[in-house]
Structure 1
Amino acid sequence: MKLVYCCTALLLFILTHRVCLGGNILVLPIEGSHWINMDILLQALHSRGHNLTILRSDKSWYVKENSSYYQSKTFSVEKSSVNESFMTKLLFEMVDYERGALPIMNFLHLTVGMFGTFLEIQNSFGEFTTAILDDENLKNSHFDVLLSDPCWGGGAILAKHLNLPLVYNVRWLIAGEAHLSIAPSPLSYIPITGSGHTDKMTFIQRVYNMILHLITEIQKNLVIKVVYQKLCEKYLGPDCDYNQLMIDADIYLMRSDFVFEYPRPTMPNVVYMGGFQCKPAKALPQHLEDFVQGSGDHGFIIMSLGTFVSEFPSDLTEMIAAAFAKLPLKVIWKYKGERPTTLGNNTLLVDWMPQNDLLGHPKVKLFVAHGGTNGLQEAIYHGVPVVGLPLFFDQYDNLLRLKDRGAAKILSLATVDKDDNFLKAVEEVLTESSYRENMQRLSRLHRDQPIAPLDNALFWIEFVMRHKGAAHLKAESYRMPWYSYHSVDVVLFLTGAVLLLLVTAVVFIRCLCSTLCKRKVKRD
């Protein structure tokens, strides 16, 4: 009996200690695939005893109001730019443009022509941020930390408004890759997203890289001026500089690692958690297991174009379906559009699929993907080679990192339907063993870590909660104006000093020469 009492007391002690360690976490997420990976962090935090409060819009597409592991606070907004119909329309426009435009026109369309759309999205989130900041009940609540995705820029303002430590679940900081705003980033070997370059660039590519960086910076600063600086001045005072506020997070949980990303300088408060969403495969639902087992020794292919893409132009889907029908393998294709007439008996269309579990199945041979970070990290984790069909945003650049390492083949929308290019690419990756070998090598590198990426991320979130921030990890560069950071003022001062010395020396020599000449004249 004493043993039972002792065990019960020990269990109560453990549970009480766990509850005591739990904190209150405020979360400002964004939609689509960004919410999917944020949700994984939230479930893990909940399992460790933390209380989660999610801020969401009443027009939210992915973030549900009711959940077993978080409570939500919903804010009413007039409209939301980011929804399924908007993304489908955007996709079709970009596909049509890329298939019909010259490369230079496509570049201008993506960098300049799309700015209005990008600004519309940010304005929509600015309205949502205003609704949050106007809520007095939220200001009177007690939270230990704010967890935010800074692809939309309201998190930094909210953290300052509530006086909370700030942790970013990040890869993009509004318009650009987050490293560019906080870490030394030599453009000679760090390719700007959208450039389509590796870290080994020719002179012309470096020129292009610089131009694209300047365009990106102009876009980011325009968005900040139009949307977020106004919010700063309204809620934090006229002296608040959003550019400085934006980068002043305590911890950057970076959704990449140096198996996937090119090596580059970094900072003390950047924590790499690339592949944190990856995990060993679970058993498939019975209908999918029966389907893939029917592939025999050939194995199967999976195809998914990501969270945002529910359908595709009909001529492309007909071409893809016809190509799959010629293969001896089974195919599982995530697709919600109209059923292609050329679909073969070997292809199964599904609205949803357990992508991680399929990629971890022993019979999987190939992943046909759009190039989203989540999917590619899962492919790396499970060692599955990729045929890439990038659609927009960072997808081409993501796939390029795998292609550069010999683990992927990339097709463009402009040429995918010509000369059986799609079928040839699939067959090449299936038959050439180097693709699988290279991807499995990346998988071994990714898995060989002292601590799992998810556990590392959780540690640093809780670290910030325990210590009320991580100010000791923030470099002074975060608070320096650009001219001080790049020592422009020092260079100008030293240049002026040298010029002053030279002018003084010249004047002195001229005076000396003049005096000597006068003495000579007097003697004569």
Structure 2
Amino acid sequence: MSYFLYLFMPLLIAPNIDGYKILVYNLKFAYSHYAYNSIIADTLAGAGHDVTVIQADLDLNVKHPGAQIAKTYNIPVENEIAELLTNNSMADLIWDLDGSSFAQLKAIENFMKAQHLHQLKIINDKELAKWILNEKFDFGYAEVYSMHMIGLFKAWNITKYATGTATTLIDYMYFFYGVPFSPSSMPNMLQASSPKMTYSERVINLLGYLFFKSFFYYNADHITGEKEINKMYGADTFILERDLGEAAFIFINTNPFFDFPHPKTEKMIAISGIGIPEVKKLDKYWDDILNLRNQTILLSFGSLAKSSKMPLILKQSIVTTVKKLPDITVIFKYEIEDDGLNKDVPNLILSKWVPQNDLINDPRLSLFILHCGLNSVHEIAFAKSDCPSLAIPIFGDQMRNAQLIKSNKIGAIMNKLDLSKPDIFAKYIIETMNNKEFKQNSKQLGNMLAKRPFSAKDLLINNIEFACEFGNLKQLDLESRHQGFIVYYMLDIIVPFILVLIGFMWCGIYLTIKFIQFSIIRRFKKYRPVSTENN
């Protein structure tokens, strides 16, 4: 028996010979993005493919372990680049930012600098290029925030590729796929409104859309690396408008049953939920905390807007609010557990880390107060409990994400400025926590998403494998991708038609005037008295 086991052991441990060699590019610049792309890599590796992740530690504050199944290839990051994000002073000021487009861009200024510097390093890394060319990868994947990788895939003879985004699709990205973005009914990525907008909201939405679109095109060379790639690998190696739209698919962190309806192409695949971990039984520590009182609240503002960095007045207000609710346990995700914030507040539990998904799936959790990072929003949406949510968006796409909670009636939204007002904060907590409609809708939404026809994991694996075999699937390209402004909006038909119509109208008016003049002159001659001077 042992002889046969020894004989066939190589077959048991050998890699799947039908698997594809897939290259994934994953920058460590934000926890949610790094985690999302790591899960994509591990999901494909778990399906039997030979997946290699190129990764670089741009932000050393991101503690996610990265891909666990896929192989990794670490690119050293220069101190200057890592310093821009690791010690980013703007990250500490997020709590003080307003919701304007300028403020949002100011907050990501260091990211753009770091991204560009690292982009230049990658483009000019001949050793990396040589290694990848020798590996002969079948397929490439990179997030749209690393657009230069699409050009590098082509330069490295990886002709089959896909993109993705850990957020909803950025407004100006629709253009590359030939899909219209309508500011009248589609909130832009940073817009704090639902598709049913007031007049003022539509004005703000339009201006925001135009601002970010103009910003992108003004900084296109800096963001995309198109000029540097073509300089390094030859003219026309990378043309963003052509090559981004030619990607086989774009995998978006959304779900059609929990998103605002919008036009899309078959290349846009929604795979939200793929990063949500399986619910585990709480250990004794957390189990005991949930048993302390009849009601328990989880308060978490994510990893970017650090709770320990919020203004002192907000911290004091949260403590005062918790004191007003002595019969409720409040678990507060807070980075510094021993700074005395919860001194003499027995119902306030501080923790650097919380098993968030396990807690919100526990029926004993009464309310989830969140910042509305997309991963947290999806976790509460997919949760099978009846826990309602109180959304307090802080920055970026959190404004739009909060509207998903409100539109689906699974919770309420509170302005972050009201965190400084204990009475208002406590009122929101009580009203949201005791809202029966929110509880019913939360339970129903979780059940609906659990029973969706196709799982996110299957959508990712099946579509990637399909693209690996058949390429970038030009059959799915909309013709509008290749149309100019005049043809797309049918101005070549509408303008001549209007000119002809104006011509007919002018002729009609001209003939009418002439007819009237003729009639008046004829009538005048008919009734003009006959002259008698010659008699």
Query: 2:192 is paired with a residue of what secondary structure?
Result: coil
Matches of 1:467 and 1:15 in 2, distance apart?
A: 28
In structure 1, the partner of 2:275 is 277
Q: CA deviation at 1:226?
A: 3.5
Q: CA deviation at 1:427?
A: 1.1
Whichever residue aligns with residue 222 of structure 2, its letter is: V
Change (3 A) 1:417 1:173: closer
| Correspondence for 2:447 among 431, 444, 462 | 444
Matches of 2:352 and 2:456 in 1, distance apart?
A: 29
**1:143 is the counterpart of 2:137:** yes
| Correspondence for 1:246 among 244, 247, 250 | 244
Stretch of structure 1 that moved more, 278-287 or 254-263:
278-287
**Larger Rg, first or second structure (1 or 2):** 2
Given that 2:164 and 2:252 are in contact with CA atoms closer than 8 Å, whether structure 1 keeps it comes out as yes
Change (3 A) 1:163 1:471: farther
Matches within 5 A, 1:58-207: 58-61=57-60, 62=62, 69-77=70-78, 78-80=80-82, 83-86=85-88, 89-97=89-97, 106-107=98-99, 110-135=100-125, 136-137=129-130, 138-164=132-158, 165-170=160-165, 176=171, 178-179=173-174, 181-182=176-177, 183-207=179-203
In structure 2, the partner of 1:102 is none
**1:230 is the counterpart of 2:233:** no
Q: CA deviation at 1:319?
A: 1.8
Matches of 2:356 and 2:381 in 1, distance apart?
A: 13
How many percent identity over aligned positions?
Answer: 19
1:46-75 Cα distance to aligned partner (Å, 9 max, x none): 222222222223544337689564222314
**1:302 is the counterpart of 2:305:** no
**1:418 is the counterpart of 2:418:** no
Matches of 1:358 and 1:302 in 2, distance apart?
A: 8
Change (3 A) 1:202 1:54: same
Matches of 2:172 and 2:166 in 1, distance apart?
A: 6
Matches within 5 A, 1:20-59: 20-30=17-27, 31-32=29-30, 33-59=32-58
Q: CA deviation at 1:230?
A: 2.7
1:438-467 Cα distance to aligned partner (Å, 9 max, x none): 212221221221221122112212222222
1:407-436 Cα distance to aligned partner (Å, 9 max, x none): 122221222212522211111111221111
Matches of 2:176 and 2:168 in 1, distance apart?
A: 8
Matches of 1:385 and 1:84 in 2, distance apart?
A: 34
Matches of 2:155 and 2:395 in 1, distance apart?
A: 34
Whichever residue aligns with residue 442 of structure 1, its letter is: L
Given that 2:373 and 2:401 are in contact with CA atoms closer than 8 Å, whether structure 1 keeps it comes out as yes
Change (3 A) 1:244 1:81: farther
Q: CA deviation at 1:283?
A: 1.5
Q: CA deviation at 1:372?
A: 0.5
Given that 2:116 and 2:222 are in contact with CA atoms closer than 8 Å, whether structure 1 keeps it comes out as no
Q: Structure 2: state its 5+ residue gaps.
A: 519-535
**1:266 is the counterpart of 2:264:** yes
Matches of 1:412 and 1:85 in 2, distance apart?
A: 28
Given that 1:170 and 1:178 are in contact with CA atoms closer than 8 Å, whether structure 2 keeps it comes out as no
Alpha-carbon RMSD? 3.4
Matches of 1:282 and 1:256 in 2, distance apart?
A: 24
Matches of 1:343 and 1:387 in 2, distance apart?
A: 26
**1:466 is the counterpart of 2:469:** yes
Given that 1:330 and 1:347 are in contact with CA atoms closer than 8 Å, whether structure 2 keeps it comes out as yes
Matches of 2:484 and 2:232 in 1, distance apart?
A: 23
Given that 1:65 and 1:74 are in contact with CA atoms closer than 8 Å, whether structure 2 keeps it comes out as no
Change (3 A) 1:21 1:346: farther
Given that 2:90 and 2:107 are in contact with CA atoms closer than 8 Å, whether structure 1 keeps it comes out as no
1:349-398 Cα distance to aligned partner (Å, 9 max, x none): 11112211112222112111100010010101114311112110011210
Q: Between Structure 1 and Structure 2, how many residues are aligned?
A: 496
Query: 1:319 is paired with a residue of what secondary structure?
Result: helix
Given that 1:122 and 1:223 are in contact with CA atoms closer than 8 Å, whether structure 2 keeps it comes out as no
Whichever residue aligns with residue 357 of structure 1, its letter is: D
Query: 2:145 is paired with a residue of what secondary structure?
Result: coil
Given that 1:95 and 1:391 are in contact with CA atoms closer than 8 Å, whether structure 2 keeps it comes out as yes
Query: 2:255 is paired with a residue of what secondary structure?
Result: coil
Q: CA deviation at 1:399?
A: 0.8
In structure 2, the partner of 1:293 is 291
Query: 1:20 is paired with a residue of what secondary structure?
Result: coil
Q: CA deviation at 1:509?
A: 8.1
Whichever residue aligns with residue 429 of structure 2, its letter is: V
Matches of 1:347 and 1:82 in 2, distance apart?
A: 35
Stretch of structure 1 that moved more, 491-500 or 455-464:
491-500
Given that 2:290 and 2:296 are in contact with CA atoms closer than 8 Å, whether structure 1 keeps it comes out as yes
Given that 2:19 and 2:50 are in contact with CA atoms closer than 8 Å, whether structure 1 keeps it comes out as yes
Q: CA deviation at 1:273?
A: 1.1
Change (3 A) 1:82 1:273: farther
Matches of 2:464 and 2:67 in 1, distance apart?
A: 24
In structure 2, the partner of 1:363 is 364
Given that 1:282 and 1:357 are in contact with CA atoms closer than 8 Å, whether structure 2 keeps it comes out as yes
Query: 2:303 is paired with a residue of what secondary structure?
Result: coil
Matches of 1:38 and 1:487 in 2, distance apart?
A: 40
**1:321 is the counterpart of 2:323:** no
Query: 2:304 is paired with a residue of what secondary structure?
Result: coil
In structure 2, the partner of 1:520 is none
**1:19 is the counterpart of 2:16:** yes
- Normalization by structure 1: what TM-score? 0.84
Given that 2:298 and 2:331 are in contact with CA atoms closer than 8 Å, whether structure 1 keeps it comes out as yes
- Normalization by structure 2: what TM-score? 0.82
In structure 1, the partner of 2:380 is 379
